[in-house]
Amino acid sequence: MLFVALILIISLHSFDCVFTA
């Protein structure tokens, strides 16, 4: 469960970085 949450957070952060770039 924690691993899935971590992946989700990383994916969201990555998407946010690309969106703001």
Q: Report d(CA 21, CA 19) in Å as an integer.
A: 6
Q: What pLDDT is stored for residue 13 in this prediction? A: 86
What pLDDT is recorded for position 19? 76
As a whole number of angstroms, the distance between CA 20 and CA 17 comes to 5
Supply the pLDDT for residue 8: 94
Say what the pLDDT of residue 2 is.
Answer: 92
User: Could you report the per-residue pLDDT of 1-21, keeping only the tens digit for each?
Assistant: 899 999 999 999 888 777 776
pTM: 0.42
- Neighbouring CB atoms inside 10 A of 13's CB total 10
What local confidence, expressed as pLDDT, does residue 21 receive? 64
Q: What is the dihedral of CA 9, 11, 14, 20, to 10 degrees?
A: -90
pLDDT of res. 16: 78
